[in-house]
Structure 1
Amino acid sequence: MGERPIDYAALALGTPVADAHAHLDMLDDPAGALANAAFAGVGLIATVVDLSEDRRTFDELEAWRAEAAERLRAVGAAAAVPEVRVVAGVHPHNASAAADLEADLFELARSGHVVALGELGLDYHYDHSPRDVQRAAFERQLGMAHETGLPVIVHLRESHDDGHAMLSSVGVPEAGCVIHCFTEDVATAERFLELGCWISFAGVTTFKKADKVREAAAVVPVERLLVETDCPFLAPEPFRGRTNEPALVTQVVRVVAAARGVQPEAVANAVYANAARLFKAEGAS
């Protein structure tokens, strides 16, 4: 038997929500994912491009959105295709290639084609690039964010001490710094909040054994709170094991809201406003 189809409209919260970190270019059907997200009430998506891998987002994004709109029209749906903002950088896995790509990244940043730099940072779990090379690339891209006035989206895995030290040394960009896909405890969250960072929670927050992550989600100030899918990875419960997609971000909202003791609509409104402000999208205040 195949997977049961998802009723995307049933995922909606009655108010728009934002997916602050997706990888549309990694999905088999980006246009379909955008249409699904529309049904689920997702109004804004930040999609992340690794310049060392697939750059097709820059050429194909508008075609994906147009096809999504056509699919919605074909079924008589009134839902609007989500607004999409592009983030670009070089992932720490590929830090060995970063130096050769930073001129391109700087040009994208200066041209306005991207709204943030990322995901950049440190990954000591896989060590696909040597750690000293990762640290050097992280420092250079942080410096670029300061120079261009853009926020950064930071990936840290088994490297939070070094990441904190780097952000303390170079400085958190005035435009913002998001610790994405947060999987740590309250104490770690508070260290990054003290630096002025934002914290973004993904599908891990919904996992049965993720009590420490939910505890962290409960204490992050509402003005520093974001949610994301990191799709196609880390699908939330009860969809764990499936390909993740932006529509499922509403499940993260529900769990974060429960951890905070508030209604999901309150979290949805807050994270949408925060993402719109960070990524300079419609609805920013």
Structure 2
Amino acid sequence: MTERSYFTPTGGHPGQDQLLTDRAMFTDAYAVIPKGTMRDIVTSVLPGWQGMRMWVIARPLSGFAETFSQYIVELQPGGGSDTPETDPAAQGSLFVTAGQVELSIDGIAHVLEEGGFAYVPPGSDWSLRNPAADTASFHWIRKQWQSAPGLTAPVFFTVNEKDLSPHMMPGTEGRWGTTRFMDPEDLSHDMHVTIVTFEPGGTIPFAETHVMEHGLYVLEGKAVYRLNQDWVEVEAGDFMWLRAFCPQACYAGGPGRFRYLLYKDVNRHMPLTPLR
């Protein structure tokens, strides 16, 4: 099996001798948050947690991307929370990039190691700890679950990427695949989280233009990404944040694989009034 790599920020602070110029950008259609911006000075902490800090890389913004928030959480040994989620309407997706965490839900403990994923339904009674001697890091994607007639909220599950086979996109000769954590046939899910993989030379051969909002965190490799009218170089540790209908495409020139963790909102009517 091909070895997997998950880039994880460690913070720190640049020296006074470093140039100010960087690749960070925020436009009406997209934002690029490079790995070099994830420094100690821009971390946040949450009440009710111990031994944690986080980088907030997406949050709902009126007129931009409005459906989700995304954090990169760094958790020290023994750190965690008995009340991690304070919004009863929020569902969560967790993806571990370094170390391990123990997620307890309804009194049952589940250990997530690197590559581990968990879906946490809205209203769940859960807690999270780092039981190991090393620092852990994970992505936490949050979205308000949107109900629909005849559907109940999705059920809790955990899985590790290494136990899943990617679905190869047709006509790509194995160069473009998606590892799907949610079952696309299960319409109770109104968000999908996947890992997208491009082999060297792989491409999205058209400018995707669609209603889904995206968060794309680069786990491995580098590529040039088409965002609106711009071609932007991105690499492991960078985050791309796309509002609805932002044209997008990709060319992975190599030398290694290009992989990213992807969020998108799916499977629901478009709200005509604000969600409550």
User: Normalising to structure 2: TM-score of the pair?
Assistant: 0.35
Higher RCO by CA contacts (8 Å cutoff, separation 6 or greater): 1
Higher strand fraction (1 or 2): 2
User: Normalising to structure 1: TM-score of the pair?
Assistant: 0.34
Higher helix fraction (1 or 2): 1
